[in-house]
Structure 1
Amino acid sequence: MDGGGCQACGVTVGRYATEPVCPTCAATTRPSSRPIHTTPIASAIWLWAAPEAATAIATRDLPTILRAYRRINGLNQIALAELLGYDKSYVSMIETGRRAISDVASRRHIAARLGLPPHVLGVTGVDDAEYRAMLQFGDSTVRLAEIARQSGHAVEAVNELWPLVARLEARAAEGHMERDSLILLAQARVALGVSLGTVLPEESLSSAARWTGQAVKIAAHLDAPAFYAHTLRMHGNELRKAGHAAAGVARQEQSLSLAANPADQGSALAFLCRATGELGHGEQFDIALQRYRHLLERNAYSGLLFQPFALREIEIRGLLGTGRLAEASRLVKVTAGTPSAPQWRTIERVTSGEVFAAINEPDAAADAFRTAIESAEHHRLPHQIQRTIRATVKTGMHELTAEAHEALQRIRSLLAPRRNL
């Protein structure tokens, strides 16, 4: 299907859904497939902040996972014991293999405290009713997570997507992956990667690019050009954010060649502008920007990127990146529409602050940076704060640099393991 309506109630179903009915109607007509609700897990951000986490989880070995958790999060055995509600000596015995945890209740307890789906520790199997229900409602999980991310709640989106991705990954690892499950896995991978790309600090953004890249690998073999174009767009943007702008340009050009509607073409062009601007490629940036503006003038606005506010911010940053400060300074004082999502206001304020600082308007720059810091902290956007730090250091705004460092530290604390769950 391609985003049509539910045959039962008419509501729009997922763009890449293969079932003709929405999850709600499916549950109504097939009550035996009702989902099993589980206790919400703790923050799953730690799982994706370092490749070591994925390696440890793949072993399904509790001692290995505990040691990896401590290393990644900088905890000693006392802190881990407090998190789990155990004695320090008991945790030590578990880690060294002197004490085996075999009962289901204890393993489920540990999984919940560490933010792991229970099946990672062998509590559930991939063919149980919970898995089948997760498949049935998986498309809605992805769409709701996307809504959460676009509304400024990317951490919550990660926590929603992680159990789905982990279960599907386990299924795929055992060689049991039907086409619908494979499509859902690709959707979940790209959504997880983009959400991670929103909440992880710059030094960890390669994790986001890896997950969107995994989605591209699946999409390339699904004979679904629109979805393939989508995964290429999102992967290209995460590559750019991770410091690989040239690779990002290649992905956006490939996505643009596959995009079939103005909104998708506009999104690819927006990302292409961003990447070419960062590379300082003025001519390539101008061509992409002209095509983007041409599309926007002739079609209805749609999505986060295909609208005037995004166009203005992308143009200002591209002009700054290609050495045209005078043009950027004129545009920064002109308003255009409203942001499509909270994070876009933050992004725009950082970009505007950089321009104001460059043209020696310190008061306007300080106002923009301060607004950006407050918004970035509220919506947990660490790399926007890191952009602000670089800009304020460059311009000698030491007070704002200190404020930004403090906000960044508070965000890191929020994403750290919680010891008293």
Structure 2
Amino acid sequence: MVPAPARPPGDRVARAVAARCERCGTALGRYAPPGACPACRAGGAALTAPGPRLAPAVWLWSDPAAAAALSSRDLAVILRAYRAANSLSQEALAAILGYDKSYVAMIETRRRTPHDVAGRRHIARALGLPFHLFGVTDPDDADFAALVHFGDAVVRLAEIARQSGRAVEAVNELWPLAARLEARAAEGRLERETLSLLASARLALGVSLGTVLPEERMPGAAVWTGKALLLARRLDDPPFLAHTLRMHGNELRKAGRLPAAVARLEHAVAVSPDPAGQGSALALLARASGDAGLGETFDTAIHGCRRALESGAENGMLLNPFTLREIHARGLLALDRPGDALRVLHTGGAGDPAAPQWQVIADVTTGEVLAAAGERDGSAEALSAAIATAEQRRLPHQLQRAIRAARRGGLASVSDAGLAALRRLRVLLAPAA
């Protein structure tokens, strides 16, 4: 699905042998290790990044002044900037490097300059900085540079896959990229541009996991979008910050952390630099505030969404008539206003869903509303359709919603069908023995 850098012939042969997941048969990305695909492994335990937290050196790249010093490739400037960013004395830096304080002072004043490759590699390794800043190479640099070269394409194409209903493929492409970037970041060896790629990969992976994980694993998706927000707050990119706040707020909602979700989404509304982004934030705020029982906030957000649509700010998956009708009806039902929810569902002109998973989401909501209104046959039909498509698309969260709705509506046969589908999915997603 996603282009990848060329690999040695022997490696291509090895990858061809194990090109599919051993559990579900999904094609593995070129960066993925053989065995169970990341999406199947995530069904048993949320994916976590390898290694420790980001090394302090990474944060140098998030500060424009420090980044400028590092990009100068001037060793004296770099050492002074590194000490300033980390509040280190020359003596403390000398201890890290294993040098005498006087030698560090001479490097910083350009009276001495290490020219040997071993010395420069030692400084880069000790400070956790990219080797190329010091005019030397690392054996891993070429392979990593190739991965980064295609990284933006991986993220973009994975997002297209998720939005077209192939979230499993999106996870399987994004996880190996994110894992490599996380490992590099744990060593402190990411530049500012690559740090932006890591933030995008974290966010896209979190949102994709939020599509394919069951409810009990949803906090794992929110962890990834939260890790993206940690970076977004430092990158001086307002549109990306607003987008990250929207997505993190939505994953928090799905994880049941409603007050935090509402707070993030209200922040997203406030900082979104364009009407489409603000309208998308309002749509997600309406959903979270409805779930949280905040009627006034819900009504205000829905009104804002309608204004945005009337102004022509329609935006993809979140801000369109079909999605807004589902969000409006679902929120009204959560606020114990089933009659109003039914009237919203009967409103025509909603058009088609922006993505296949939204049809499943809408079918579950329709089933819930019809069950609350006592329309058992219509509810059973909508929930049965949702169950069939949710199993096909590997959407356990929507299966769980459908099962609850069927139980509340007294639809035992539909509930049983949902449980059977969920069991089949759990077997598929269970960790390999």
Q: What TM-score results when the alignment is normalised by the length of structure 2?
A: 0.71
- What corresponds to 2:95 in structure 1? none
> Is this contact kept in 2: 1:310–1:339, CA < 8 A?
yes
The residue that corresponds to 2:207 in the other structure is: 194
Name the counterpart of 2:422. Answer: 408
Residue 53 to residue 211, structure 1, CA distance change in 2 (3 Å): closer
Q: Partners in 2 of 1:411 and 1:364 — Cα distance?
A: 26
**Correspondent of 2:410 among 396, 399, 407:** 396
User: CA offsets, 1:292-345, max 9 Å, x none?
Assistant: 100101114221011100110010011111121111111222331110000000
Contact 2:46 2:220 in 1 (8 A): no
> Are the equivalent residues in 2 in contact too, given 1:35–1:133 (CA < 8 A)?
no
- Residues 179-212 of structure 1: CA deviation (Å, up to 9, x unaligned): 1110000000000000000000000000000000
> Residue 382 in 1 paired to residue 396 in 2?
yes
- Secondary structure of the equivalent of 1:360? coil
2:271 aligned with 1:258, yes or no?
Answer: yes
How far off is 1:126 after superposition? 8.0
CA contact (8 A) 1:126 1:171 kept: no
Correspondence 1:172 to 2:185: yes
Q: How many residues align?
A: 324
Counterpart residue number, 1:285: 298
1:346 to 335, 350, 360: 360
2:58 is aligned to none
Q: Distance in 2 between matches of 1:287 and 1:370?
A: 33
How far off its partner does 1:393 sit? 1.2
Question: Is residue 355 from structure 1 mapped to residue 369 from structure 2 by the alignment?
Answer: yes
Query: What is the CA–CA distance in structure 2 between the aligned matches of 1:356 and 1:35, rounded to whole Å?
Result: 55
Q: Which residue type is aligned with residue 132 of structure 1?
A: A
Q: Which moved more, 1:391-400 or 1:306-315?
A: 391-400
> Residue 239 in 1 paired to residue 252 in 2?
yes
Q: Percent identity?
A: 53
Q: CA deviation at 1:46?
A: 5.3
* Residue 258 (structure 1) shift: 1.2
> Which of 140, 145, 148 does residue 135 from structure 1 map onto?
148
Are the structure 2 counterparts of residues 214 and 53 from structure 1 closer, same or farther at C-alpha, using a change threshold of 3 Å? closer
Alpha-carbon RMSD across the aligned residues, in angstroms, is 2.2
- The Cα shift of 1:401 comes to 0.7
Q: Which amino acid aligns with 2:212?
A: V
1:368 corresponds to: 382
Q: Which residue of 1 aligns with 2:37?
A: 43
Does residue 302 of structure 2 align to residue 322 of structure 1? no
Q: Secondary structure at the match of 2:267?
A: helix
Q: Distance in 2 between matches of 1:249 and 1:366?
A: 32
Structure 2 contact 44–430 (Cα < 8 Å) conserved: no
Given that 2:159 and 2:170 are in contact with CA atoms closer than 8 Å, whether structure 1 keeps it comes out as yes
Does 2:142 correspond to 1:149? Answer: no
Partner of 2:101: none
Are the structure 2 counterparts of residues 229 and 159 from structure 1 closer, same or farther at C-alpha, using a change threshold of 3 Å?
same
- Structure 2 CA distance, aligned partners of 1:43 and 1:401? 29
Contact 2:44–2:431 (8 Å) recurs in 1:
no
Q: Which has the larger radius of gyration?
A: 2
Unaligned runs of 5+ in 1: 1-22, 28-32, 60-124
* Distance in structure 1 (CA, Å) of the matches to 2:173 and 2:141: 19
Cα distance in 2 for residues equivalent to 1:213 and 1:334: 37
Give unmatched runs, 5+ long, in structure 2.
Answer: 16-27, 53-137
Aligned to 2:110: none
Kindly indicate whether the alpha-carbon contact (under 8 Å) linking 1:263 and 1:303 is maintained by their aligned counterparts in 2: no
Query: d(CA) in 1 for partners of 2:43 and 2:390?
Result: 19
- Corresponding letter in the other structure for 2:412: H
Check 1:216–1:47 CA distance in 2 against 1; reply closer, same or farther (3 A cut). farther
**Do the aligned residues in 2 keep the contact of 1:382 with 1:408 (CA within 8 Å)?**
yes
Which residue does 1:160 correspond to in 2? 173
Flag the 1:295–1:393 CA change in 2: closer, same or farther, 3 A.
Answer: same
Measure, in 1, the Cα distance between the counterparts of 2:305 and 2:48: 38
Which one has more relative contact order, counting CA pairs under 8 Å at least 6 apart?
Answer: 2
**Does 1:276 find its partner at 2:289?**
yes
1:215 is the counterpart of 2:228: yes
Question: How far apart are residue 413 of structure 1 and its match?
Answer: 2.2
d(CA) in 1 for partners of 2:170 and 2:46? 22
Q: Secondary structure at the match of 2:150?
A: helix
